[in-house]
Structure 1
Amino acid sequence: MQVIRPVGREAAAKKYDMLSAIMAHALAGDQNLQRLVLRLMSLITTRYNWQRNELTMGQREIARLWCVDERTVKREMARLRAMGWLLVKRPGARGRVSVLALDLERIMLDTRAAWGNIGEDYILRVGGEAAAETAPSTVVPFRRPDVLVAGQGVWGRAQALLAAEDRPLYDAWIACLADGGLHEGCQILIAPSRFHATYLRTHILPRLRTALLRADPTVTALRIETG
């Protein structure tokens, strides 16, 4: 999947592509999801800095925009962070609000199931599965089992989520991770080598955290060690 980066000459079109994905995802869901996504889109279109990937807006201002109280703002923003769509780029301090960021890759992954409702041209444009099927390739794929063999408990549920959203990535980098246990809210994963662990920390850590949080909201930390 191509990650949308709303910069360069085609920045405007890329922005519309991402907003279209969010909109289609919401319309395919229930009224609670639709309301949440509408509120997020209001923040994006009024206060989001696309070039810097920053959203800076206080809870009082958000409450005024959404026509709700600040308690509702706290609850909805917590939901967006739990989904992995919003990230804390810089925590708030005295006299200064938090700086948030959008995880564009996570948003596109979560909305992928609804892309077909927009049209095949959209799927091809953003680099979905249809594009991968039609594009010629000289790469010979490795054989893999059709049935996912996942572990038990929190990590087992997270494995199933990760495999469902990107099976090639899962097979290459995640399937070999061993469950080191859950200790006081911290999930420990054992990588087969130092290189493997470093790659995971650098490139895949946000995905792992989001999957664990969705598998069990009480997971507060993740540590990757080597066997």
Structure 2
Amino acid sequence: MQVNKPVGREAAARKYDILSALMAHGLAGDQNLQRLVLRLISLITTRYNWQRNELTMGQKEIARLWCVDERTVKRDMARLRALAWITVKRQGARGRVSVLGLDLERILLDTRPAWKNIGEDYVSRMTDQPASPAVANVVPFRRAEIEPAEGCWARMRILLQAEDPSIFDAWLAPLTEAGQENDILHLTAPTRFHATYVRSHFMARLTVAANRSEPRLRGVRLLP
């Protein structure tokens, strides 16, 4: 899933689509998730710079907005960073607050299961698919089958396929595990071109999947 920057002529609609995805995801979850999503939306609508992908707001200001104490702010911001929805672009120093960013691709990947609750037209728009596709005489790509297995890469494959089956089939399924070293998962690609493409487009996705499958992992290295 490639996310276009929400700027330009269709910026307003794109922003509403992202906020709608968050809203639907939150409403489909428990009270803790609903509260977390509502707090994130409040930061987006009050302080987020869509064009520069920057959120600059101190903990005291966030606590005042959320009507909580700063300890709660630290806890929930840590949760948002663990989800990889929020990233630190520049660490705060010398009295300056940190500059944060949003990983919109990750947000849309994680909220995707709830899109259907908004409506078929929304799903079609977000996936660039016709709302009611006609049956076409097309032979689809063979779906990559995930064999029952144990280990971090096996768990990651399940997560990655659920996020985006077409990308998984084309680029991630052919990867194989080559072991772990110093809490880094090593994966091998079938060709050098394949490895280069995955490094350029999907390393963030692999890193998040690795951390969610095995939290002690610090990253992923792709060979060759």
User: C-alpha distance in 1, partners of 2:109/2:180?
Assistant: 26
User: C-alpha distance in 1, partners of 2:95/2:148?
Assistant: 47
User: C-alpha distance in 1, partners of 2:136/2:115?
Assistant: 23
- After the TM superposition, which residues 101-116 of structure 1 pair with which residues of structure 2 at under 5 Å, given as runs? 101-116=101-116
User: C-alpha distance in 1, partners of 2:137/2:98?
Assistant: 46
State the shift of 1:136 in Å.
8.4
Per the alignment, residue 124 of structure 2 pairs with: 124
- After the TM superposition, which residues 114-193 of structure 1 pair with which residues of structure 2 at under 5 Å, given as runs? 114-127=114-127, 131=130, 134=133, 140-145=139-144, 147-149=145-147, 151-193=149-191
Shift of the 34–95 alpha-carbon distance from structure 1 to 2, 3 Å rule, reads: same
The answer as to 2:45 corresponding to 1:45 is yes
Shift of the 131–109 alpha-carbon distance from structure 1 to 2, 3 Å rule, reads: farther
Asked if 2 retains the 8 angstrom alpha-carbon contact of 1:186 and 1:219, the reply is: yes
Instruction: Calculate percent identity across the aligned residue pairs.
Output: 64
Query: TM-score, structure 2 length as denominator?
Result: 0.90
Gaps of 5+ in 2: none
Per the alignment, residue 194 of structure 2 pairs with: 196
Per the alignment, residue 222 of structure 1 pairs with: 220
State the shift of 1:184 in Å.
2.7
Q: Which amino acid aligns with 1:101?
A: G
Shift of the 69–207 alpha-carbon distance from structure 1 to 2, 3 Å rule, reads: same
Query: TM-score, structure 1 length as denominator?
Result: 0.89
State the shift of 1:131 in Å.
3.0
Asked if 2 retains the 8 angstrom alpha-carbon contact of 1:4 and 1:105, the reply is: no
- After the TM superposition, which residues 71-90 of structure 1 pair with which residues of structure 2 at under 5 Å, given as runs? 71-90=71-90
Asked if 2 retains the 8 angstrom alpha-carbon contact of 1:2 and 1:127, the reply is: no
Q: Which amino acid aligns with 2:180?
A: L
User: C-alpha distance in 2, partners of 1:77/1:102?
Assistant: 12
State the shift of 1:33 in Å.
0.3
Gaps of 5+ in 1: none
Per the alignment, residue 19 of structure 1 pairs with: 19
Per the alignment, residue 61 of structure 1 pairs with: 61
Asked if 1 retains the 8 angstrom alpha-carbon contact of 2:211 and 2:219, the reply is: no
User: C-alpha distance in 1, partners of 2:108/2:138?
Assistant: 25
User: C-alpha distance in 2, partners of 1:133/1:72?
Assistant: 45
State the shift of 1:159 in Å.
0.9
State the shift of 1:133 in Å.
6.5
Bigger RCO of structures 1 and 2 (CA < 8 A, at least 6 apart): 1
State the shift of 1:135 in Å.
7.2
Asked if 1 retains the 8 angstrom alpha-carbon contact of 2:90 and 2:100, the reply is: yes
Structure 1 counterpart SS, 2:174: coil
Per the alignment, residue 29 of structure 2 pairs with: 29
Asked if 1 retains the 8 angstrom alpha-carbon contact of 2:121 and 2:131, the reply is: no
Tell me how large the CA RMSD over aligned residues is: 2.2
User: C-alpha distance in 2, partners of 1:32/1:108?
Assistant: 19
Asked if 1 retains the 8 angstrom alpha-carbon contact of 2:5 and 2:51, the reply is: no
User: C-alpha distance in 2, partners of 1:47/1:30?
Assistant: 26
Structure 1 counterpart SS, 2:185: strand
Deviates more, 1:95-104 or 1:148-157: 148-157
State the shift of 1:144 in Å.
3.1
State the shift of 1:4 in Å.
4.8
Structure 2 counterpart SS, 1:134: coil
State the shift of 1:55 in Å.
0.8
Q: Which amino acid aligns with 1:162?
A: L
